[in-house]
Amino acid sequence: MRKRANMNSREFFRLHPVFRHGEFVAAHTAGGRSPATSNNLLARHLAAGRLVRIKRGLYAAVPPGVDPQQATVDPYLAATRIAEGAAVAYHAALQFFGKSYSIWRRFHYLTPARSRPCSFRDLEFIPAQVPAALRDLPDWGGGIIETPHAGGRVRVTTLERALVDVLDSPQRGGGWEEIWRSLEMVEFFDLDAVIEYALKLGSSLTIGRLGYFLEQHREPLMVEEGHLRVLREYVPAQARYWDGARRTGSLVRPWNLIVPGRILHRRWEEPR
């Protein structure tokens, strides 16, 4: 059997604008080149300014004629390739789809393993461990897609999953004003998918928050009574504070949540 020819580096960079070390070596050893030779080739490209190192083992191609110090790196491609199977999530997912109120340079990504945040220039990549309830499920509970972007492919949570995720982990969504304003930029959610994922996540507090949000947006999001009825079966059994800050507020039934006045009355909309 004839060995497959080694992939040309320029072609590899065109197809993989952001890549991991192992991917480069695998592509260049397919035709018989040794790993050591592939590593030397990678080092030469890095020294010549054809690549920049985002972090150990993760690289981005530099377009011809561009100063490597000025080269930009697509953060969504980087967050996708930063760990095996990673997926852009939370506020970063909303931002990817153009549905975030504020533009961040901080990008959360889902990963099953514990990892450390890392930075590249003004970009910050923050791992978010997949919740235990979802870790053994296909696609970590679903709602993860892969889509072409910036010459590569991005793994990212859907808007439906992002809706539930930021309600579940508001610190990764930018706080309640940012979450509310961002989610209100979304014209349509597949509410059946939203509810299916929320039930898999299994947090009664998150389900209560979701029910409250959907009830507050019944008309624009075309929320039906049947959607709310399903969620009511899984709300907290006893009254719970809206979040860990335990701020005083009003008990809102049937969601069994003590909702702070800032959220209840949308005080961020008041003139300052």
Report strand pairing: 144-149 vs 58-61.
unpaired
Q: Report the percent of the chain where pLDDT is more than 70.
A: 96
Confidence of residue 268 (pLDDT cuts 50, 70, 90): confident
- pLDDT per residue over 97-144, tens digit each? 999 999 999 999 999 988 899 999 999 999 999 999 999 999 999 999
Mean pLDDT, range 28-38, rounded to an integer: 82
Full 3-state SS string of 171-187: HHCCCHHHHHHHHCCCC
3-state secondary structure of 255: coil
Q: Provide the 10 A C-beta neighbour count for residue 169.
A: 17
Residue 1 has pLDDT above 80, yes or no: no
Q: What is the mean pLDDT of the chain?
A: 93
* pLDDT at site 160: 98
Residue 6 has pLDDT above 80, yes or no: no
- pLDDT per residue over 78-104, tens digit each? 999 999 899 999 999 999 999 999 999
Contact 109, 118 (CB under 8 A): no
- pLDDT per residue over 152-179, tens digit each? 999 999 999 999 999 999 999 999 999 9
- pLDDT per residue over 194-212, tens digit each? 999 999 999 999 999 999 9
The residue among 159, 155, 204, 206 whose CA lies nearest residue 184 is 159
CA distance 216 to 213: 5
Mean pLDDT, range 179-192, rounded to an integer: 98
Report strand pairing: 123-129 vs 106-111.
parallel
Query: Model's pTM, two decimal places?
Result: 0.93
CA distance 70 to 74: 13
Q: Provide the 10 A C-beta neighbour count for residue 164.
A: 28
Distances (CA, A) of 261 to 163, 169, 250, 251: 22, 20, 7, 11
- pLDDT per residue over 219-232, tens digit each? 999 999 999 999 99
